Amino acid sequence: MITKKKTTWCGMLFELKGCVLPQLLPRLFILFLYTIVIVYFRDSLLKYHLFINSAIFTLFGIALAIFLGFRNTVSYDRFWEGRKLWGALLNDTRSLARQAHKQVDGEDYHKQRTHFIQMLTALVYALKHQLRETNPDTDMNRLLSKSDNQKTQTTVFKPIIIIIIIIILKELGLWVNKLKRDGKLDSNT
C-alpha cells in the first residue's frame, strides 16, 4: 500500500509529484495572455459589433463535461485493473511459495526452498519498485545473493533480470524434477 506523509491542505495544494499541473501551466499561461489581450482591446472590438453568442460556450461546456467524465471513468478502470493484477500476482506468488514450503519435506531441501522463496519475493519487490520508480537496492540486497544482486545492479528493468536468473539457473524445473525423482512430490501437484 502506498502511504504518504500527512500534510496540511496547503501543502497538498502545491504538491507537484503525480500532478498534471506542470503539463497544463504552459497552456493556461497562453490562455491567460489571450484573455488579457481580449479584455484590453474590448472597446475597440465592440466598435466592429463583434458579439459572441453564449450558446457556443454552453456547447463547449457540455462536450468538455462528457470528455472529462469519460476520461475519469477510463482512468479509474485502469487503476482497478492494475489493482486486480497486482493482487493476483501476490496471491499466485504466495501460493507458489506455500507449495514449495509445505509439499517438500526433508532437511536437505531447506536451503533450496529458502532460496526459491527469496527469489519469488525479490521478483515482487523489484516489480513494486519498478512501478513506483523508487530505488530497489535495499530490498534487493536483503533478498538476493551477492552474485544475483550484482547481475541486477546495472540493469534498468530489474524484474526481468530476476526472471532471467530463475530461468537461466532452471531452478524451478530442476528442483521439481529432483523432488519427483526422490519421491517427495507426486505428478498431480
Q: Considering the chain, what is the average pLDDT of its residues?
A: 79
Q: Are 100 and 113 in contact (CB under 8 A)?
A: yes
Write the DSSP assignment of 42-88 as a string of letters.
Answer: HHHHHTTT----THHHHHHHHHHHHHHHHHHHHHHHHHHHHHHHHHH
Give the pLDDT confidence of 125-176 residue by residue, as tens digits.
888 888 888 888 888 888 888 877 777 777 777 677 767 666 544 566 676 6
- C-alpha torsion sign, points 136, 138, 139, 140: positive
**Whether this model's pTM surpasses 0.75:** no
* Helix, strand, or coil (residue 94): helix
Angle at CA of residue 89, ends 84 and 94, nearest 5°: 125
Residue 108 has pLDDT above 80, yes or no: no
- Alpha carbons 98 and 113: distance in angstroms, whole number: 10
